[in-house]
């Protein structure tokens, strides 16, 4: 059984490697850090649920254990219909996108706590989701997250074409954009 979602198998091996490098997360962050909740959503976007081998299509569904568990909690009405996300700040949101934007706000506000090495893995993996995920709604959300992470570092976002060139399984292409110190 393969644990990655089928759509990831169409990516270059380098892009798949980047996705997998970010799955583990940063050990130095507390279990309840906003970055850990974003990571749960990230994992749901590339991995199959180990509990039942299926794709978890939103960050809300109460399934997936702690590794791919929900990123936000939804309040339910008396009939069990979910209607409002409650995020870490306790603010109610009407969409998962808005609730997760609050998590991105918190994550960026506390980036000094995140190891730089892991942050780069996460940012590059999020970029791949933002350009390659098959679901437009999910792809758009992750591209927005990627742009925020890049802009927070005072950098310019990479285009999809630049991403594909840099991570296209060609050593020559990778070397063309690599720093001389890392060209071994």
Q: Which helix (H) or strand (E) holds 82?
A: strand 82-86
**Distance (Å) of CA 2 to CA 20, 47, 52, 58, 65:** 13, 9, 13, 21, 18
pLDDT tens per residue, range 16-50: 999 999 999 998 888 888 899 999 999 999 999 98
Instruction: Please name which of 48, 23, 45 lies closest in space to residue 36, comparing C-alpha atoms.
Output: 23
Strand pairing report for 92-93 and 73-76? unpaired
* pLDDT computed for residue 172 by the predictor: 93
Check if the beta carbon of residue 136 is closer than 8 Å to that of residue 7.
Answer: no
* pLDDT computed for residue 80 by the predictor: 53
The sign of the dihedral angle between the CA atoms of 37, 96, 83, 47 is negative
Residue 141's φ and ψ, nearest 5 degrees, are: -65, -45
* pLDDT computed for residue 112 by the predictor: 93
pLDDT tens per residue, range 70-119: 888 766 556 555 445 555 554 556 678 888 898 899 999 999 999 999 99
pLDDT surpassing 90 at residue 55:
yes
- List Cβ neighbours of 117 (8 Å cut-off, separation of 6 or more): none
């Amino acid at each position: 059984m393969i644990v990655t979602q089928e759509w990831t198998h169409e990516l270059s091996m380098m892009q798949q490697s980047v996705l997998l490098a970010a799955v583990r997360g940063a050990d130095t962050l507390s279990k309840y850090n906003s970055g850990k909740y974003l990571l749960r959503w990230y994992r749901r976007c590339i991995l199959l649920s180990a509990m039942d081998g299926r794709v978890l299509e939103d960050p809300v569904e109460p399934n997936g254990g702690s590794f791919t568990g929900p990123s936000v909690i939804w309040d339910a009405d008396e009939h069990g219909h979910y209607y409002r996300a409650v995020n870490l700040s306790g603010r109610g949101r009407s969409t998962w996108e808005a609730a997760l934007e609050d998590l991105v706000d918190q994550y960026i506000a506390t980036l000094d706590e995140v190891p730089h090495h892991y942050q780069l893995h996460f940012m590059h993996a999020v970029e791949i989701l933002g350009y390659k995920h098959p679901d437009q709604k999910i792809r758009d959300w992750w591209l927005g997250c990627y742009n925020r992470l890049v802009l927070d570092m005072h950098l310019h976002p990479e285009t999809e074409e630049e991403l594909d060139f840099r991570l296209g399984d060609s050593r020559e292409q990778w070397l063309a954009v690599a720093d001389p110190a890392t060209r071994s």
